[in-house]
Structure 1
């Protein structure tokens, strides 16, 4: 329901400014939230899930083209690619990808505000923008988290809980 009616140029500036402020405010908020809020979730990753990302979404073709917003907000940890294979790094990546997912989910939520000053057709365009700007990032982060979970699961399977022998972990090569 449109409450304010502005001229075209003012509406365009309002939309751009609102998205800019919302994206950067939400992103900043998520960088200062405590790590412990994002540490607890441990996904399971089945071969079917990874196959869905690969065969249906063809995620490997496009995920590296997405921008890494960490650069824009001064965050040190980059999530565009898994850069190392050591367990400590993978746990940090998993936490930061979880943080990124939630940041993108929350970035979609303010879209109803755009119905306050836009005509319905434009406001629905803002819905499309919010989904187009965030859903691919969410999918990429979930895909990378699922890959990390698989690596960590394989390490746990290879290294026995207790036995006289230690087998070599092939994922550490």
Structure 2
């Protein structure tokens, strides 16, 4: 039972508005975070061994077959970094691309979190629909970011001279 009971049409309006606010807030928050926060491939951003350099996602979810359907959120911000396709091949650009893919991944993780708030004003069935929406919209983009980043990290590691 929701904490606040509203007529269904208000619930729908509130849900749409709330998701708009949550998407924009997560995007803006991550956009303004310092780049140094995304510079290390540690913690959340570390590609795990089981991901096999992104090949796991391609093998089981066929990322290449649907990645063209995913919109690039860079257009939301004046100086957003486009990640739809590589613009250059030099190491500096690839490093920025990797960093920005970490920023994008965090943005989508943060966008999932508010899904729990929908239990406050939605009937149980509608709250679960909102949680499903958050997962269905964001998990594929997280997977895409991880796949691309794993591939780029392999490429940049091969290009670095031995020390």
**TM-score, normalized by the shorter chain, greater than 0.5:** yes
2: CA distance, partners of 1:87 / 1:119: 51
More displaced, 5-14 or 71-80? 71-80
1:98 counterpart = 2:102: yes
133, 143, 146: which one pairs with 2:137? Answer: 133
8 Å contact from structure 2 (residues 38, 102) kept in 1? yes
Task: Give unmatched runs, 5+ long, in structure 2.
Answer: none
8 Å contact from structure 2 (residues 26, 107) kept in 1? yes
CA deviation vs aligned residue, 1:130-162 (integer Å, no higher than 9, x gap):
001100110011111001111012113xx343x
The structure with the greater share of residues assigned to helix is 2
- Normalization by structure 2: what TM-score? 0.90
CA deviation vs aligned residue, 1:112-143 (integer Å, no higher than 9, x gap):
11000000010000010000110011001111
More displaced, 40-49 or 79-88? 40-49
- Normalization by structure 1: what TM-score? 0.85
The 3-state SS of whatever aligns with 1:109 is helix
1: CA distance, partners of 2:48 / 2:10: 47
RMSD between aligned alpha carbons?
1.7
The number of residue pairs the alignment matches comes to: 159
Task: Give unmatched runs, 5+ long, in structure 1.
Answer: 162-173
User: In the alignment, which residue of structure 2 is the partner of 1:8?
Assistant: 8
